[in-house]
């Protein structure tokens, strides 16, 4: 993306900022990490461990917390704000809106819309997309190229479906939902009964419900329920490559990082946080506000507010202690060998 932003516009974005230093640059044309920034770039200090990189950075403007002490170099500005990470996100949102605007509200000539479907006002539907029988697309929603909205499914208002999203039959998406490229909603659940040595497929007749303000990352799959529904609560954010099994219920405001696997009929209460590659056995309940570390294996119910790590998962501090003790095992065995040889 090519863009430029003036210092005056930066000050408009951060009206309570404190300015230190000066620069001959009138426009800034890049955002870079502290160590890779060059003249004309904007950088930021979002993590205190990179503080030592600030004095040597060549960025023209550096977003810094008010607590930072130091002096800008020649032809450089320190822009001190409450939270540089939040400030950078604000800047990126402005640039995205300004220089990568949303597609116009139009329906491409190659899109196929069933005559019974209902398409709202100011809707964009990209090339080779399909809107099925009795489906609904709400006002201001944007459907990318090669998307599929199945029969009797509903896309709410102001949603964004990126290319190749597949929303299968009888699924419901609320308002302001973002589905990134390759997301599959409503695929058949994984279930078989073994009869006379043969794996007989169990039909899955339920649906998937995604509430308002949810974002789901690329190539994540949400299975339809065996009956009733698989549900994702309001404001939950799910990363790429996550597998959510049939009849799973995710609460409000949860955060689920990449490559997590959730087996069928698991229930997350509100505000659960899950690290990457964690796995959950079926029919469990994870209590409100629980935190699950990356690669944890969850085989039992999790109490509200718990912080678990490891496989099988243990309380975080206990798991950390065990990890430290494991490193001492070779030394311990050497001591045992020495004692036995002396006997």
> pLDDT digits over 303-342, tens only?
999 999 998 888 888 888 888 888 888 888 888 778 877 7
Confidence at residue 144, expressed as pLDDT on a 0 to 100 scale: 96
Confidence at residue 316, expressed as pLDDT on a 0 to 100 scale: 85
CATH number of this structure's domain 5-99: 3.40.1390.10
- Summarised one tens digit per residue, pLDDT across range 161-216 is 999 999 999 999 999 999 999 999 999 999 899 999 999 999 999 999 999 999 99
Confidence at residue 2, expressed as pLDDT on a 0 to 100 scale: 67
Confidence at residue 162, expressed as pLDDT on a 0 to 100 scale: 96
Q: Where, residue-wise, is CATH 3.40.1390.10 in the chain? A: 5-99
Confidence at residue 211, expressed as pLDDT on a 0 to 100 scale: 98
Q: Where, residue-wise, is CATH 2.160.10.10 in the chain? A: 112-319
Confidence at residue 341, expressed as pLDDT on a 0 to 100 scale: 77
Q: Indicate the helix (H) or strand (E) that contains 20.
A: strand 18-22
Q: What is the distance between the alpha carbons of residues 96 and 12, in angstroms, rounded to a whole number?
A: 16
Q: Residue 115 burial by CB count (10 A; 0-12/13-18/19+): exposed, middle or buried?
A: exposed
Confidence at residue 83, expressed as pLDDT on a 0 to 100 scale: 95
DSSP one-letter string for 126-177: -TT-EE-TT-EE-TT-EE-TT-EE-TT-EE-TT-EE-TT-EE-TT-EE-SS-
Confidence at residue 324, expressed as pLDDT on a 0 to 100 scale: 85
Confidence at residue 220, expressed as pLDDT on a 0 to 100 scale: 98
DSSP state at residue 47? S
Confidence at residue 343, expressed as pLDDT on a 0 to 100 scale: 65
Q: Catalytic positions, please?
A: 246
Cα–Cα separations (whole angstroms), residue 145 to 160, 161, 168: 12, 9, 16
Q: Is the CATH code 2.160.10.10 the one for domain 112-319? A: yes
Give me the residues of the chain with pLDDT under 70, please: 1-2, 343
């Amino acid at each position: 993306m090519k863009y430029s932003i003036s210092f005056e516009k930066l000050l408009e974005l951060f009206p309570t900022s404190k300015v230190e230093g000066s620069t001959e640059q009138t426009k800034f044309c890049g955002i870079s990490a502290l160590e890779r920034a060059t003249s004309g770039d904007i950088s930021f200090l979002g993590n205190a461990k990179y503080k030592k990189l600030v004095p040597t950075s060549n960025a023209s403007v550096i977003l810094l917390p008010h607590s930072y002490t130091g002096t800008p170099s020649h032809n450089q500005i320190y822009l001190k704000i409450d939270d540089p990470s939040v400030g950078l996100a604000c800047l990126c949102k402005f640039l995205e809106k300004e220089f990568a605007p949303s597609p116009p509200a139009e329906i491409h000539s190659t899109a196929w819309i069933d005559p019974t479907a209902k398409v709202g006002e100011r809707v964009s539907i990209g090339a080779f997309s399909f809107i099925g029988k009795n489906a609904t697309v709400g006002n201001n929603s944007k459907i990318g190229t090669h998307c599929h909205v199945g029969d009797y499914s509903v896309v709410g208002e102001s949603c964004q479906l990126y290319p190749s999203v597949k929303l299968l039959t009888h699924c419901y998406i609320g308002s302001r939902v973002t589905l990134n490229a390759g997301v599959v909603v409503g695929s058949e659940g994984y279930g078989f009964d073994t009869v006379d040595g043969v794996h007989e497929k169990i039909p899955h007749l339920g649906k998937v419900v995604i509430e308002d303000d949810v974002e789901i990352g690329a190539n994540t799959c949400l299975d339809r329920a065996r009956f009733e529904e698989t549900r994702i609560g309001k404001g939950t954010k799910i990363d790429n490559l996550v597998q959510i099994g049939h009849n799973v219920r995710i609460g409000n405001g949860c955060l689920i990082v990449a490559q997590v696997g959730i087996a069928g009929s698991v229930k997350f209460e509100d505000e659960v946080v899950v690290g990457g590659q964690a796995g959950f056995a079926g029919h469990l309940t994870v209590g409100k506000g629980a935190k699950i570390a990356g690669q944890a294996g969850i085989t039992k119910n999790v109490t509200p507010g718990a912080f678990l790590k490891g496989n099988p998962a243990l309380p975080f501090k206990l798991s950390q202690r065990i990890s430290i003790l494991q490193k001492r095992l070779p030394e311990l065995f050497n001591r045992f060998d020495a004692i036995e040889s002396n006997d």
